[in-house]
Amino acid sequence: MIRSMTGFGRCEKVTDQYKITVEMKAVNHRYLDLSIKMPKKFNYFESAIRSMLKNYIQRGKVDIFINYEDYTEEKLCLKYNESLAAEYVQYFEKMSKEFSIENDVTSTVLARMPEVLTMAQAEDDEEAIWKILSEAMEAAAQQFVDSRTVEGENLRQDLLGKLDYMTELVKYVEQRSPEVVTAYRAKLEEKVKELLGSTAIDESRIATEVTIFADKVCVDEETVRLKSHIEHTRSELRTGGTVGRKLDFIAQEMNREANTILSKANDLDISDRAIALKTEIEKIREQIQNIE
């Protein structure tokens, strides 16, 4: 199967403590370009997020939005500065000796000293957060890939239809080309007869002129290559995978052959078909830009 480069995925994970929402959307891009917008506290997970997404996405400009809500009360914890408390005790004892006063410091008094006991923000449980975040990321990424797959199938069917039409155009050019040479010979002979009257026609000279003309307008090689490119494109569409760049290259080659056919055309019907081929190839190239 083939995949479109446009897609959307969303997942929301809710627990008693957190709610994490992940949204992903993408547009066409030559390479993989990931843009992640998330809370600063999630910066630690960025590398893991990028590695995970590369398992799902190969091409496209992908915007990822991560929203986070914490349902817990403000998480505070008490910090005890043991070294500072020891210094307080040391200086209290020193003052007691120097000034011959009683050292009546208790633990309660010591705890009231500046910076001995402080309130601080408790650290988040990164492992628990990553578990929820990674589940949300994978679910959103899978939905994203599924949407790309559905759109990719629509693109495949559209491209196959265009290839069928191109095949008919090439078939017409192949059938019409010999008729053009035959018509040229008949026209040449008629013109020569008008000029020479009853004088005998030099058949060898006629044959030479017709051969030169046939060589100039011959598009056998171009049509053979064009049919090969069409079949190659069909094969890639059947095989699937990340084929966007390869199909774009094949489309360029098809356009080159169509240009050559048009430049050699000495017949209005063939010219019309060559122009139709170029138009269809351009449509195919536009669609291919949407394929991963």
Predicted confidence (pLDDT) per residue in 49-59, tens digit: 999 999 999 98
Predicted confidence (pLDDT) per residue in 134-189, tens digit: 999 999 999 999 999 999 999 999 999 999 999 999 999 988 887 776 766 667 65
pLDDT(65) > 90? yes
For 74, the token pair is 């403000």
Sign of CA dihedral 268, 269, 274, 280: positive
Query: Which amino acid would we find at residue 40?
Result: K
For β-strands 7-14 and 60-70, DSSP reports them as unpaired
- The distance from CA 144 to its chain's CA centroid, rounded to whole angstroms, is 12
For residue 213, give the nearest of 187, 194, 174, 185 by alpha carbon: 185
The answer, as to whether pTM is greater than 0.85, is no
Residue position matching structure tokens 């155009």: 169
Predicted confidence (pLDDT) per residue in 95-129, tens digit: 988 888 888 888 888 888 898 888 766 566 788 88
Query: Which amino acid would we find at residue 132?
Result: I
**CATH topology for the 153-288 domain:** Butyryl-CoA Dehydrogenase, subunit A; domain 3 (1.20.140)
pLDDT(94) > 60? yes
Gap between the Cα atoms of 42 and 132, Å rounded? 12
Gap between the Cα atoms of 109 and 93, Å rounded? 14
Sequence-distant (6+) residues with CB within 8 A of 83 are none
For β-strands 60-70 and 32-37, DSSP reports them as parallel
Q: Kindly report, as residue ranges, where domains of CATH 1.20.140 are found in the chain.
A: 153-288
Residue position matching structure tokens 């010219």: 271
* DSSP conformation letters of 118-130: EEEEPPP-HHHHH
pLDDT of residue 30: 84
**Residue range 8-31: mean pLDDT, rounded:** 91
Predicted confidence (pLDDT) per residue in 201-249, tens digit: 666 766 676 577 666 767 888 889 999 999 999 999 998 888 999 999 9
* DSSP conformation letters of 233-274: HHHHHHH-SS-HHHHHHHHHHHHHHHHHHHHH--SHHHHHHH
Gap between the Cα atoms of 167 and 164, Å rounded? 5
State how far the alpha carbon of 189 is from the alpha carbons of 71, 185, 234, in Å.
Answer: 94, 6, 44
Gap between the Cα atoms of 162 and 279, Å rounded? 10
Sequence-distant (6+) residues with CB within 8 A of 232 are 250
Gap between the Cα atoms of 188 and 194, Å rounded? 10
